[in-house]
Structure 1
Amino acid sequence: MVVPRASAVVLGAADAEPIAIHANHIHMVKFGSKSDTGYKTVSSHLQLMAVNAGDVIGLRWVMEGRVNAACSNNPIESFNVQFSVLEVPEVQHFIGRDEELDRIHEELGNNGSRKMVVVHGLGGMGKTQLALAYAKRHR
C-alpha cells in the first residue's frame, strides 16, 4: 500500500467510502478505455458526487456564512432562538424574589460576554419559578 486508507476518502465527506485503485499516483486516473475496471469505479463515484454537488456546495456556503457571521459577532438574521416555556409548569402567584431577580440580572450583565448564574437549593424552594420569572422578564 502506497497511500494510507484515509487518503482514499474525499475530505469532509463523513459518509464516504474508500475507493481502491491499484495503481500509483501517476497512473491512478489514466485508463486504457471506458471498459477498464478502474475507469468504471472512478466514473460511477464521480457521477454520484456530481448529482449531489449543487446541494452539498449550497449547504457548505450557508454554513460558511453562518460561521463567518458568528466569528465577526454580527447578528445572523436567519438565526433565532424561539422563546418557549410551555413545558414548564408555572405557579399562578409568583410573589417576591425581586432582590434575587435583580441580583441575577446584575451578575449576567449585558456586555456581550458569556456568563452563568447557578441557582441552587432544596427541592420545592422555587428555583424553577425564579428562573422562569427571570426568563420572562428579560427574555
Structure 2
Amino acid sequence: IGCRALMKYTKIGTAMRAVASDPDLAVISGINSDGVILFTFALGSALAGVAAILVSFDIDMTPTMGMNALMMGVVAVIIGGVGSIPGAALGGFLLAFAQNFGVWKISSQWQDAIAFIILLLFLLYRPYGFFGKKIRKVEV
C-alpha cells in the first residue's frame, strides 16, 4: 500500500514512472534520471533488507548462509569468462554437470573440491575463460 501510494501520489513516484517509461524523455523534461535511479535502487535495497530481517525471524540464519552458492557463482563466471553473460551461463552449466557427474564415482563430499579443481585447471590453462577477452596492457 505504501509503495503504491509513493508511486501514484508523490513527485518522486511520478519521476520514477517517467524514467522507467522513457529515460531520455524524462531527462528532457528536467528530471534528474540518475538521482531517480539511485533513489529507486536504495528503496529496493531497503525493502529487501526489511524482507530479509522478517524472513530471518522464521528460519535459522547464519552469517555465512549462501556463501557456497556465491563461491560456485564466482567459479562459473571465471570459467565462462569475466564480462560474458553467455559465458557465465555456460560456465555454470559445465560446473554443475561436472559436480553432479562426479558424484557417480566419488563421494558427494568432494563436490566442492571438484569445482575448485576445475577452477584451478582453467586458471592454469585458460585464464580468460571460454569467452573472456585478453586484456592488452598499454604503457605510456
TM-score band, normalised by the shorter chain? under 0.3
TM (norm. structure 1) is 0.24
TM-score w.r.t. the length of structure 2 is 0.24
Q: Looking at CA atoms only, which structure, 1 or 2, has the larger radius of gyration?
A: 1
Q: Relative CO higher for 1 or 2, CA cutoff 8 Å, sep ≥ 6?
A: 2
More helix by share: 2
